[in-house]
Amino acid sequence: MLGNEACPNYLNGGTPQQYKDYRLFVVSRFKLLNFLDGEGVTEQERVESEKIYGVIKTRNSLLDPGRLQDKGKKKVGKIFSSNHPIFLFFFF
C-alpha cells in the first residue's frame, strides 16, 4: 500500500501519526494479517487496534447450522452472511 493515496505515509506527504493510524485500522479489520507494508504485525499493534477500533464479530464456521433457514420443507442458505468478505471481479 505504500505509495497509495489511501495509505498516508512518507512517500505521499503523510505524517508518521497518520501512517500509524492507517496501520492500526488495517490490523483491526484483518485479524489474520501477519505482514503489512513489509513489516510484521506486532501483538502490541493488535491490542492497540482493538482499543481504538473495536472487534468485528464473525462466525467461526461457514458450516454453522445457524446459517440455514427453514423455508417449508426446503432449507435455503443466506445469500450474504455478514462479516464475510465478498470479492467481485469484473472483466471487460
pLDDT tens, N- to C-terminus, the chain (92 residues) = 777 888 888 888 889 999 999 999 999 999 899 999 889 999 999 999 999 998 877 665 454 555 555 445 444 444 444 455 555 555 54
Distance CA 83, CA 61 (A): 12
What pLDDT score was predicted for residue 4?
Answer: 80
pLDDT for the residue 57: 72
Bridge partners (DSSP) of residue 74 are 71
Distance CA(74)–CA(59), nearest Å, equals 23
Residues whose CB falls within 8 Å of the CB of residue 37, separated by 6 or more in sequence, listed in order: 1, 2, 7, 9, 23
What is the rounded distance in angstroms from the CA atom of residue 5 to the CA atom of residue 12? 7
* Cβ-contact 24, 44 below 8 angstroms: no
